[in-house]
Structure 1
Amino acid sequence: MSQPAIDLTSELLRGMRLSGVNYRRIETARPFGVGFSGRGG
């Protein structure tokens, strides 16, 4: 009987006591940017 593969991200989240947190992988490609309105603050 083999051991299950270790999910390092899940282990990290458990270590930070963030159980139950959902996370997803995002893939980005060019062109990628962030836009902001021209209003001053």
Structure 2
Amino acid sequence: MFDNVFNSVTALSEFLANLLKSSICILRFNIGQQRFLSIAGI
């Protein structure tokens, strides 16, 4: 029983960590794109 719960929690936390990483990457990309456009004067 406890092993099952622990595995679920571990899987969930790994999923959340990956989600956070990917959202940070997307945010960085968007910020970089906006900076590039403002430098380019578009």
Structures share fold, TM-score greater than 0.5:
no
Higher relative contact order (CA 8 A, sep 6+): 1
- Higher helix proportion (structure 1 or 2): 2
The two structures have a TM-score, normalised by structure 1, of 0.27
